[in-house]
Every structure is written in C-alpha cells, then in structure tokens.
C-alpha cells in the first residue's frame, strides 16, 4: 500500500476529488494518510477531518528560510512513512533540495496544458486570465512530477477543455476543475500506486 500525503493551502477541491475517488475504489493501492496545510484556515483541513484523515499545519512564516521549512516538512512526511506527495493547491514554494530529495515522488496538478501558461507567476485564476487574454480556443489541465523547475517536471497526464464564448476566468476555472483536474489527478495517483509510472529521459512512460 502506498502512503499518500496531500499538501494544500485553500479550499481543497482536488483533495476532495482524491477522497471521493478513494471511496469509489479507484485508488485501490493507495492510502490517504496525511493532509498538511500551509494555511491554518484552509477549508481543505475540514474536508480531511470529515474523511477521517490526520492533518497538520506548517506555516512558512514560522521558519527562517525555505530550507528550514523544507526540513521540517520532510521530517513530518518521513515520520508518517510517506511514499507519494500530492500538491493540491499548495501555495508555498518548495526549495530545490526538497524536490531532489523526493524526486519522482511529488505530483502536482496545473490548470493548463503545459507548456502553455505555466511557470513562475502562473497559478490559480492567473492561469485562466492569461488563457482568455491570449484568445486560445482550448485549455485544460496537466498532472506532472515536480522538479526544480516550476511546472517543468515530467508530464504524466493531460486533458483538453474547450473555451466557450462568454467565459470568465472564474467560469473557466470551474470547468477545467470539473472536466480535467478532478479526473486526471486521481487517475495519476492510482497509476503511481499501481507502480505503472516510469520516468526515463525526462518523460513518463505508463505501463500497461
């Protein structure tokens, strides 16, 4: 069984998608055993508590620098024997040292089709604002491994979502979540737990 920690900062809709997928039996070889928030007021903590998942809070401002924060975070994860870290709207930047320590064991979901609208400064509504400003006809979501390069890790899964006339960033955000993020993230986690993901030359191979 793969021990999974989900890192959150806000509402936790992607966490809820994982909880629901687990309850449906879609993550058979994974256990959601810890939810950690960088924000003590995150609603995601309530979602976790309702699902009976242990929680913790680790605020960046309580540490001198990013390395100290990452060391404390790693200790918490190691104490719980975590095998996979899932970033689900986690808004604290993790230093390179942490990404290297947990290489190919951190999964993130990004609300665009990488390499479009990604990298430094592209998060939350900003991604959808940029897509609409550019006038693209299709956007979507990407699940990828986390590397030292922001949104630059090996891509696991992608799904396209059409942009519709009259879309606002908020409307588009909800559609991308419902039609892509909440589908892709549990699927990628399940593939990881089933041992079906292999990274070679910066690309992810999915085994049958």
How is the chain split into domains, by residue range?
A: 1-102, 108-208
Out of 110, 128, 144, 182, which one is annotated catalytic? 110
Secondary structure element (H or E) that encloses residue 145, with its range: strand 138-145
- Is residue 93's pLDDT more than 90? no
When pLDDT is cut at 50, 70 and 90, the band that residue 183 belongs to is: very high
Whole-angstrom Cα Rg for the chain: 16
Cα separation, 176 vs 18, in Å, equals 16
Helix axes 13-23, 43-50, angle to 10 degrees: 10
Question: pLDDT > 90: what percent of the chain?
Answer: 97
Question: Are 12 and 90 contacting, i.e. CB atoms less than 8 angstroms apart?
Answer: no
pLDDT in tens, 121-165: 999 999 999 999 999 999 999 999 999 998 999 999 999 999 999
User: Once rounded to an integer, what is the mean pLDDT over residues 14-30?
Assistant: 98
Look up the pTM and report it: 0.95
- The distance of Cα 137 from the centroid of its chain, to the nearest Å, equals 25
pLDDT in tens, 33-71: 999 999 999 999 999 999 999 999 999 999 999 999 999
User: Is 110 a residue of the active site?
Assistant: yes
What is residue 208's predicted lDDT score, i.e. its pLDDT? 82
Cα separation, 41 vs 44, in Å, equals 9
Residue found by looking up tokens 């069984």 in the block: 1
When pLDDT is cut at 50, 70 and 90, the band that residue 25 belongs to is: very high
The CA-based angle 68-124-112, given to 5 degrees, is 110
Residue from 80, 97, 99, 73 nearest 8 by CA = 73
For the domain 1-102, what is the CATH superfamily, name and number?
Answer: Formyl transferase, N-terminal domain (3.40.50.170)
When pLDDT is cut at 50, 70 and 90, the band that residue 175 belongs to is: very high
For the domain 108-208, what is the CATH superfamily, name and number?
Answer: Formyl transferase, N-terminal domain (3.40.50.170)
């Amino acid at each position: 069984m793969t021990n999974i920690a989900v890192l959150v900062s806000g509402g936790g809709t992607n966490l809820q998608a994982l909880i629901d997928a687990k309850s449906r039996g879609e993550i058979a070889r994974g256990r959601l055993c810890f939810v950690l928030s960088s924000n003590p007021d995150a609603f995601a903590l309530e979602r976790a508590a309702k699902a009976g998942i242990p929680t913790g809070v680790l605020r960046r401002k309580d540490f001198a620098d990013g390395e100290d924060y990452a060391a404390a975070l790693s200790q918490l994860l190691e104490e719980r024997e975590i095998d996979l870290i899932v970033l689900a709207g986690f808004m604290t930047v993790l230093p390179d040292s942490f990404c290297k320590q947990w290489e190919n064991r951190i999964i993130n979901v990004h609300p665009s089709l990488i390499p479009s609208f990604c990298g430094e400064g592209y998060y939350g509504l900003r991604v959808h604002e940029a897509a609409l400003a550019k006038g693209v006809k299709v956007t979507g979501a990407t699940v990828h491994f986390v590397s030292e390069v922001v949104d630059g890790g090996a891509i696991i899964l992608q799904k396209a979502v059409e942009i519709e006339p009259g879309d606002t960033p908020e409307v588009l955000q909800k559609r991308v979540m419902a039609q892509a993020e909440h589908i892709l993230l549990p699927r990628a986690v399940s593939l990881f737990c089933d041992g079906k993901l292999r990274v070679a030359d910066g690309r992810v191979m999915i085994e049958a």
